């Protein structure tokens, strides 16, 4: 047999792996493990953890509950047969034997004479770690997730083993009969059953992080929402992502404690090129940055109001869209001052409006991009009393409207109104009715609520039955709205007698 490079103490295993291995574990009070390594001619048994080796008969003490793995090497000319208790009870035919020491135990390794073939067993530890693979002479292979592998060889075969660490791991050492060897390969002669342990050490690699959406250099339109998705993963065994931060033009705009991070850029971006960058951190304290992703904000077409049911003119057009605490408008006009009152009716204030002039338009008709504050009005609660009126009765509608957060912020809402839709026999029928009454509401504070009661008369000639009565917050014309989805028709169902 030929083995090279053995040492009892390993101090340094390359730049990324630092390991101290004491080849004897200090005795601790607890239960005893007694081991016999054969009859007549003895093999060698190594006990893990602690690298305790025994060549005939040994007794070791361990704390109660210790999990122990026994690894045998046969004497020359013999193969491993079985593990038994010291009173002769069969335990296992596998050379790798695991036990938990919850009482004093005594085990024996049995070997039998053989002229071959002999089995080479490589032990890598707990299955499923994906720590690395071992390949060797004659097609030997122990995969990344396998805990061990074995192969038979003819007597006298010389086998060389090579290790390949998986991502996040590095090679530690070979262990043979309690002795560690740090060579990149390990060579031995199969003149008996042999067992070699391969130790891979978990290395601390930084997390991987990338911006998957949008694609680099993607064109987007102002007054549109740009979804951003960041994914991160940690290659280390037992590693996890603890924080992801997203930066837009060097300003932190979002963070998440796990992957993925999803965010929508809603016109914080200005015309031109904008840059996204993400940073991820793992539970081992390492961080890494994504590659930068750029996107270009371009001018949209001017006719953007049809989706809101507003008919633009040829002289003056603009769009509204939800975004963080502001609304963008695209305006084209040969005389901006003539249409300034239209802008004020949308923002409720001429103050704090940021103009951005598109210099690509050189004639007298300029295009302007203006930003004002936005709100998020929605129904918080609505009740109707009584719910079973008689024809000709008066019912009281009690409504509370909330001014919620507009993608992270809320500002005071100016005047708006609530439109009431007449009685319909189906919920869908409400959408075909024009409002018969519009109740004005003066304002609603930031993050606040506004409530009102309104008396509604039931027609005298109404046929008894079940009816729907609906209302809608109509704010497009007065208050920039962050989320128009909140402004659908709400309804009550009641029965008349």
pLDDT score at 82: 94
Structure token digits, residue 494: 């009641």
Q: Residue 311 burial (CB < 10 Å; 0-12/13-18/19+)?
A: exposed
b (16+ CB within 10 A) / e for 353-377: beeeeeeeeeeeebbbbbbbbbbbb
Task: Identify the structural domains of the chain with CATH numbers, from first to last.
Answer: 6-202 (no CATH), 208-298 (2.60.40.10), 306-372 (no CATH), 377-496 (2.60.40.10)
CA distances from 313 to 310, 318, 319, 374 (A): 10, 10, 13, 24
Along the chain (497 residues), what's the average pLDDT of each consecutive run of 10 residues?
34 29 39 89 87 90 91 93 93 94 94 94 90 95 94 96 90 89 94 94 86 89 77 82 94 92 71 88 92 80 37 38 37 43 41 39 39 67 87 90 72 78 86 83 86 90 86 65 63 66
pLDDT score at 407: 52
Half-sphere exposure of 133 (CA within 13 A, CB side): 9
pLDDT score at 24: 30
Structure token digits, residue 378: 């929605």
pLDDT score at 224: 63
- H helices within 285-395, ranges in order? 340-347
CA 36/CA 398 separation, integer angstroms = 87
């Amino acid at each position: 047999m030929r083995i090279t490079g053995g040492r009892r103490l390993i101090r340094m295993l390359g730049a990324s792996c630092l390991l101290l291995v004491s080849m004897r574990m200090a005795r601790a009070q607890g239960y005893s493990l007694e081991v016999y390594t054969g009859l007549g001619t003895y093999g060698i048994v190594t006990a893990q953890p602690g690298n305790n080796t025994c060549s005939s008969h040994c007794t070791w003490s361990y704390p109660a509950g210790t999990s122990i793995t026994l690894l045998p090497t046969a004497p020359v000319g013999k193969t491993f047969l079985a593990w038994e208790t010291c009173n002769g009870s069969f335990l296992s035919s596998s050379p790798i034997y695991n036990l938990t020491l919850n009482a004093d135990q005594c085990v024996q390794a049995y070997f039998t004479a053989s002229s071959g073939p002999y089995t080479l067993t490589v032990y890598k530890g707990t299955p499923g770690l994906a720590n690395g693979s071992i390949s060797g002479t004659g097609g030997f292979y122990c995969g990344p997730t396998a805990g061990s592998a074995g192969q038979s060889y003819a007597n006298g075969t010389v086998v060389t083993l090579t290790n390949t660490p998986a991502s996040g791991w590095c090679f530690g050492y070979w262990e043979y009969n309690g002795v560690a060897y740090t060579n990149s390969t390990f060579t031995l002669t199969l003149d008996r059953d042999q067992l070699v342990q391969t130790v891979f050490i978990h290395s601390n690699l930084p997390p991987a992080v990338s911006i998957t959406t949008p694609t680099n250099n993607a064109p987007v339109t102002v007054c549109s929402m740009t979804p951003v998705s960041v994914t991160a993963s940690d290659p280390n065994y037992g590693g996890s992502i603890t924080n992801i931060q997203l930066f837009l033009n060097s300003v932190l705009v979002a963070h998440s404690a796990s992957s993925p991070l999803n965010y929508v850029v809603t016109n914080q971006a200005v015309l031109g090129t904008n840059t996204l960058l993400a940073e991820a951190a793992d539970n081992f304290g390492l961080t890494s940055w994504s590659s930068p992703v750029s996107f270009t904000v371009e001018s949209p077409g001017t006719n953007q109001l049809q989706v809101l049911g507003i008919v633009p003119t040829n002289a003056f057009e603009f769009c509204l869209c939800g975004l963080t605490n502001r609304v963008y408008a695209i305006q084209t006009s040969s005389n901006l001052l003539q249409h300034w009152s239209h802008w004020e009716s949308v923002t409720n204030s001429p103050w704090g409006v940021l103009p951005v002039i598109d210099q690509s338009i050189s004639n007298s008709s300029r295009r302007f991009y203006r930003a004002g504050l936005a709100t998020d009005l929605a129904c918080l609660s609505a009740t109707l009393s009584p719910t079973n009126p008689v024809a000709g009765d008066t019912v009281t509608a009690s409504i509370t409207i909330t001014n919620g957060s507009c993608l992270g912020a809320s500002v005071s809402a100016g005047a708006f109104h609530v439109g009431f839709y007449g009685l319909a026999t189906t919920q869908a029928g409400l959408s075909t009715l024009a409002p018969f009454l519009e109740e004005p509401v003066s304002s609603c504070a930031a993050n606040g609520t506004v409530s009102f009661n309104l008396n509604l008369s039931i027609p005298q000639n109404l046929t008894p039955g079940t009816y729907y009565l609906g209302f809608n917050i109509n704010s497009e014309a007065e208050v920039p709205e962050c989320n128009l989805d909140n402004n659908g028709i709400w309804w009550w169902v009641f029965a008349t007698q």
